[in-house]
Structure 1
Amino acid sequence: MKFPVIFLLLISLAGCGTDKSPSEQNKTAGNTPAPVQIAFLADIHLHDFFAAAKDLDASELPLIADTPISGDSSQGAQTPVLMRSMQAQLNSTRLFNENYFVFRAALDEIAAKGIKLVALPGDFSDDGQPANVRALADILSEYTGKYGMRFFAITGNHDPVRPFSRAGGKKDFLHCSGKEVAVMSPDHPDCLNKSAWQCSNALREWGYADIMESLKSQGFSPSSQDVLYETPFGTADVSKRGWRWCDTGSGSEESNTGEKSNPNEENGESCIFMPDASYLVEPVEGLWLLAIDANVYTPKGKVSSLEFNGSGNAGYNALVDYKPELIDWIAGVVKRAEEQNKRLIAFSHFPMADFYDNTRKQLAELFGDNGMQLKRMPSAPTTQILSDLGLRLHMAGHMHLYDIAQPEDTGGLVNVQVPSLAAYQPGYSVVTLNNDGSAQVDTIIQQQVARFDTLFPVYAKEWQYRKQAGLINWDNTILDAPDYLRFTDAHLKEVVRQRYVGREWPKPLATFIQSQTVGDALEMLVCGNVRRVTDEGLLTMPAITLANDYYRIRNAGQFADLGGREVVYERLSDASLHCELPEAAPVQSQQVRHFVELLSDVAVSRDVTSITVKGV
């Protein structure tokens, strides 16, 4: 299969904008330049449960004592909501509902810091649904109006889920009784056969065209405020931004000649137009933000079938093969940034480097090549290709964790995994461009979120319903969480119990972790030395504590709150304490030992909370 494309010359779309003055953020009293700051909010996954409910029969929807927008009381005291079940979000790497509250809390905090530039590295919506994309646009416009903030979004694998609009919906929304119900778009099979509880066009899964049109003021189109705006295609016209992918033949066609998804026959080739949302913007004098659309929707068979895989596991490993012209464009941007003395920051949804602190081999040996989402890991050659482009700082999302890939591990590139607001530990990153040519990257944990517990009474009904119906149930102590930070910790623990250990870990290891103690696990590595490592209090704790702590460290680095246990895990790296397992040791014992070693390694290499990057 071949995807011929001809790369077009770059065209500046805002050349007349060079006489604009820098933003107020870049000036202090006396016209002394102040460091420019850019906030990065990744994986917001906004689901606006108010907006999603608007077109539905609300008679059997849950009601909450709240209003959709702060200060707007027009909805009254009891507002219907279309929200996902707690059971659903406790089997996901992210929350679905509370995102609405934490997103606003983060924006309020960023506004209070006086930061005017905000980038969104993909997955800004739940699944690109009209209700959620429009809600996002409204919220961002609100903060632009109030605080003069500007937003720059780039696409993720959830927005769009597929390159072209399609049927959507979920089967785990909550009925007022607490049961799960299906609400789908009218073109979904469950609506066509009338098995869905309700149907709404607000839950379709939009493709590129609709998403980019709805968010054109949030980076997908040029603004009069921009000093510079350009795309790889020499145009800002959404219908002409993309690549020509063909099934067969060797003819060369322009990369942006197609304006629709329908396959067409040209010179014996069956071809389609694959959209690409990438752009370069100079929002203030001297700063270049490079928004890379790293989505790659690989075809299921022939491209002319218009059936594509999701982009979640593709990332840059696929991009270097499917979008070589995009790589060429990035290289050109880097070169011009150097020539013109611009400060260049790249951002996209997908990681450009290792995000597991060089434990990939251990993870593959213990969990398999496809375990622990290792398919999403960029290969070393891929990272080298990206580093060789000359990029020095890339802000990414996708993995719902915080990580920093240092330049010594990547060939010069620093890849920062911005944490999700919807997972442990929730946060965002801020890049400060210092006057000495360096960039300071700080990550801020979102500890307090007003109204985060608004939906708890509805969840309580769900728990009661599941209990009475004899369904698999969740630990309702999560509803005792006193703040949002501890709510995300409780969420993580339930995901570990139900999904990771419960379904994804190798059975021998999972069985041990579910039934034994921490002391039993440590014995597999240090044998009779366990009391030289820690005290009885930790040794008698359930072994699943180790699993919880592994994911806490993996997700949050030095931000993880382990109650001091990290010191014990670091101590386990002392080889003089280790013992040898018998050659005939059971598989379970070997797996437990390997896991304890893994836990110790990630504890020792926990990511720092900030980094200074030179040459940005």
Structure 2
Amino acid sequence: MKIAVIADPHFHDVVSWPGLEGPAFRSFADSIASTRVFNESSPALKALLDDIVRHGISLVIIAGDLSDDGQRAAMAKTAALLDDYTRRHGLRFLATPGNHDLYAIHGRHQSKRFLNADGSHVLVTSDAEMPQGDSVARLVTDDMYCGGYAQALADMASFGFFRQASDLHWESPFGSDDDLDNRRFVIRSADGATERNMIDASYLVEPVAGLWVLSLDANVFEPRNGDLDPVAEASYHDSTSAGWNAMLRHKPFIFDWMSDVARRARAQKKKLIVFSHYPMINPSNGALADEMALFGMSDSLRRVPVRAVAETVAATGIKVHFGGHLHVNHTAVYHDSDGFLVNVAVPSMVAFPPAYKVVGIEAERLTVETALIGDVPGYDVAFPFYRAETDSEGLTGAADHVDFLDRHLALLVRERYLPKEWPADLARLAPMLSLVELDRLAGDPRSLLAEEIGPRVSDGQLTLLDMITDWYRLRKANSLALDFIPPERIARYRALVRRFRTDRSWLPGSLQAQLAKFMRLMSAGLDGNPSADFTIDLRDGAVEDLSRHRGRTERRQTGGA
């Protein structure tokens, strides 16, 4: 048996939007400020599903964030697309809700900018109080509103959240009744004074004989202190940065149920596949301390799970977990005296690298292969509108979907990550310092301050910014990134890492001290890359590398499976 696992499709239909004339293209300026692209989700998800059909796979797991941002129109169109693949190709979809699919009890407003052919944009919002800003027009519509649990789960009803006639077994943490009124728990504010009755969407299903699929709802909408309006978005802590860390505090019943499910699966000899939206193990290649030292508590680091999550899950008997949310390709393993846990981080089709996982189920092992999707018909559907809006970075010169996402990542590094996460002096110097100058600094006997360094780069020279961008490629794609970084650059990076690996004690706060921290991160990125294709021994958690590195062309031709 083979199963496809996809994550974070963030589907946005570019064909039309209620109330708008013509195509419904989102502003690319908004994509530059985001960790994902928007319009490309439409052709990318269709290409991914077509690839799954070509491989003869019928069971598809979706690890959350099915829609763009949970808007009513987006949820309806996402469900319609997936239901069409069910009707035409027999695909069965099992999903878990992501933080972009729903919001707490009553939902929240959404506002998006849609492009006109001349590069201007229209603000489409569900909030009548939202100002028009620099948009040329404003459209207020309920179709833009993101629903709460009841509304969103009704939209995704056929994706495992409710019992289907063909299911051999179905249950939730609350029993066999799939009525949402009987799938509620009490969640309290930090001070204990405010209580809300919240739905949990977790379920266990046996879609085919011998296979159990456990979908865990790891969204946590914690009420803020004070008896605030339960309808207001600001009355809750957003689940985006909470994930499994908040599950430890607010959903202990889920861990008890996980233990019971794992015990019964072993006793009944069922194969158990477990997934949620959020990761259970930090995908940092063991470099968390170095990232904290360089960046402090960045937005990215706020989203990673603490060690106690893996400890608690391993004690339940759950052995392998698939998750999304971070848009990265990664595999991490945790071992302790209670057992082990393997967390497989599944990438997204709307961020670099665009790929999904193919899981083969055997007697005592799982085989996991990574399918990189480069051939996306219509990946450039919005390019004429981007040209009218902005093309200063050559975005519309992308050769294919992968190349477009790679260019988007480079923009993210410059426009989002550097200014928001990096020390200001390194961010300023990144485009100025060449690799030649970095090598000289590594051998300089003085500990220099950043302000002592001016522009030191000539045309055509690789810079610190290039190296940082390649580090983000490695951080997000791991071994897949080796298909996108020339070998000669890898060799130069390794040489620089060695140059900064000396016993010298750089003056704290000096430029070299900061560069040495980054070089440690680069070393982890170069040497700690998990393979894209591997097997997991379900008896001891051993992960065996199937192919350290498969060429880009071969992976595209085979789909990676």
SS in 1 for 2:348: coil
Say if 2:327 is the partner of 1:403.
Answer: no
Deviations 1:219-265 (A, max 9, x none): 11111111111111122012332212356999xxxxxxxxxxxxxxx
**Residues in 1 aligned to 2:429 and 2:339: alpha-carbon distance in whole angstroms:** 40
**Residues in 2 aligned to 1:546 and 1:425: alpha-carbon distance in whole angstroms:** 18
Q: Residue 362 of structure 1 corresponds to which residue in structure 2?
A: 290
Contact 1:570 1:601 in 2 (8 A): no
Say if 2:210 is the partner of 1:296.
Answer: no
Residue 385 of structure 2 aligns with an amino acid whose one-letter code is V
| Unaligned stretches of 5+ residues in structure 2 | 446-456, 540-561
Identity of aligned residues (%): 33
* Residues 222-301 of structure 1 aligned to structure 2 (within 5 Å): 222-234=163-175, 235-246=177-188, 271-301=195-225
Equivalent of 1:556 in 459, 470, 477: 477
Contact 1:396 1:416 in 2 (8 A): yes
SS in 1 for 2:286: coil
SS in 1 for 2:208: coil
Residue 513 of structure 2 aligns with an amino acid whose one-letter code is Q
Number of equivalences: 517
SS in 2 for 1:413: strand
Say if 2:440 is the partner of 1:517.
Answer: no
Deviations 1:377-398 (A, max 9, x none): 1111221111111111100000
Per the TM alignment, residue 611 of structure 1 is displaced from its structure 2 partner at its CA by 2.0
Contact 1:349 1:396 in 2 (8 A): yes
Q: Residue 11 of structure 2 corresponds to which residue in structure 1?
A: 46
Residue 225 of structure 2 aligns with an amino acid whose one-letter code is G
* Residues 82-481 of structure 1 aligned to structure 2 (within 5 Å): 82-170=24-112, 172-185=113-126, 187-190=128-131, 197-234=138-175, 235-246=177-188, 271-302=195-226, 305-306=229-230, 307-368=235-296, 370-371=297-298, 373-408=300-335, 412-434=340-362, 436-463=363-390, 475-481=392-398
**Residues in 1 aligned to 2:415 and 2:522: alpha-carbon distance in whole angstroms:** 20
**Residues in 2 aligned to 1:572 and 1:441: alpha-carbon distance in whole angstroms:** 34
Q: Residue 493 of structure 2 corresponds to which residue in structure 1?
A: 569
Contact 1:519 1:538 in 2 (8 A): no
Per the TM alignment, residue 489 of structure 1 is displaced from its structure 2 partner at its CA by 0.5
SS in 2 for 1:412: strand
Q: What is the alpha-carbon root mean square deviation over aligned residues?
A: 2.6
**Residues in 2 aligned to 1:222 and 1:371: alpha-carbon distance in whole angstroms:** 41
Q: Residue 26 of structure 1 corresponds to which residue in structure 2?
A: none
Residue 490 of structure 2 aligns with an amino acid whose one-letter code is E
Going from structure 1 to structure 2, the CA distance change for 1:544 and 1:189 (only over 3 Å counts) comes to closer
Contact 1:316 1:382 in 2 (8 A): yes
Residue 179 of structure 1 aligns with an amino acid whose one-letter code is S
Contact 1:178 1:459 in 2 (8 A): yes
Contact 1:40 1:429 in 2 (8 A): yes
Contact 2:244 2:279 in 1 (8 A): yes
Per the TM alignment, residue 481 of structure 1 is displaced from its structure 2 partner at its CA by 0.5
Going from structure 1 to structure 2, the CA distance change for 1:272 and 1:483 (only over 3 Å counts) comes to same
Worse-superposed segment, 588-597 or 412-421: 588-597
Q: TM-score, normalised by structure 2?
A: 0.87
- Indicate the structure (1 or 2) with the bigger Cα radius of gyration: 1
Going from structure 1 to structure 2, the CA distance change for 1:246 and 1:512 (only over 3 Å counts) comes to closer
Per the TM alignment, residue 581 of structure 1 is displaced from its structure 2 partner at its CA by 5.2
**Residues in 2 aligned to 1:524 and 1:86: alpha-carbon distance in whole angstroms:** 38
Per the TM alignment, residue 348 of structure 1 is displaced from its structure 2 partner at its CA by 0.3
Going from structure 1 to structure 2, the CA distance change for 1:297 and 1:481 (only over 3 Å counts) comes to same
Going from structure 1 to structure 2, the CA distance change for 1:180 and 1:413 (only over 3 Å counts) comes to same
SS in 2 for 1:601: helix
Equivalent of 1:607 in 519, 524, 530: 530
Q: Residue 419 of structure 2 corresponds to which residue in structure 1?
A: 502
Contact 2:201 2:217 in 1 (8 A): yes
**Residues in 2 aligned to 1:393 and 1:154: alpha-carbon distance in whole angstroms:** 16
Contact 2:497 2:519 in 1 (8 A): no
Contact 2:71 2:144 in 1 (8 A): yes
Going from structure 1 to structure 2, the CA distance change for 1:328 and 1:541 (only over 3 Å counts) comes to same
Deviations 1:257-289 (A, max 9, x none): xxxxxxxxxxxx864311111000111111111
Per the TM alignment, residue 579 of structure 1 is displaced from its structure 2 partner at its CA by 3.9
SS in 2 for 1:590: helix
Residue 326 of structure 1 aligns with an amino acid whose one-letter code is I
Per the TM alignment, residue 569 of structure 1 is displaced from its structure 2 partner at its CA by 3.2
Going from structure 1 to structure 2, the CA distance change for 1:440 and 1:572 (only over 3 Å counts) comes to farther
Contact 1:222 1:229 in 2 (8 A): yes
Deviations 1:200-233 (A, max 9, x none): 2111011111111111111111111111111111
SS in 2 for 1:288: strand
**Residues in 2 aligned to 1:337 and 1:188: alpha-carbon distance in whole angstroms:** 51
**Residues in 2 aligned to 1:106 and 1:150: alpha-carbon distance in whole angstroms:** 15
Per the TM alignment, residue 525 of structure 1 is displaced from its structure 2 partner at its CA by 4.1
**Residues in 2 aligned to 1:574 and 1:284: alpha-carbon distance in whole angstroms:** 53
Equivalent of 2:466 in 545, 551, 571: 545
Going from structure 1 to structure 2, the CA distance change for 1:282 and 1:542 (only over 3 Å counts) comes to same
Q: Residue 37 of structure 1 corresponds to which residue in structure 2?
A: 2
Contact 1:245 1:303 in 2 (8 A): no
Q: Residue 589 of structure 1 corresponds to which residue in structure 2?
A: 512
Per the TM alignment, residue 566 of structure 1 is displaced from its structure 2 partner at its CA by 2.7
Per the TM alignment, residue 587 of structure 1 is displaced from its structure 2 partner at its CA by 2.7
Deviations 1:344-390 (A, max 9, x none): 1110000000111111000000000x215111111112211111111
Q: TM-score, normalised by structure 1?
A: 0.79
**Residues in 1 aligned to 2:285 and 2:460: alpha-carbon distance in whole angstroms:** 27
**Residues in 2 aligned to 1:452 and 1:345: alpha-carbon distance in whole angstroms:** 32
**Residues in 1 aligned to 2:282 and 2:502: alpha-carbon distance in whole angstroms:** 30
SS in 1 for 2:83: helix
| Unaligned stretches of 5+ residues in structure 1 | 1-35, 59-79, 251-268, 464-473, 529-535
Contact 1:123 1:157 in 2 (8 A): yes
SS in 1 for 2:2: strand
Going from structure 1 to structure 2, the CA distance change for 1:226 and 1:523 (only over 3 Å counts) comes to farther
Residue 374 of structure 1 aligns with an amino acid whose one-letter code is L
**Residues in 2 aligned to 1:372 and 1:249: alpha-carbon distance in whole angstroms:** 25
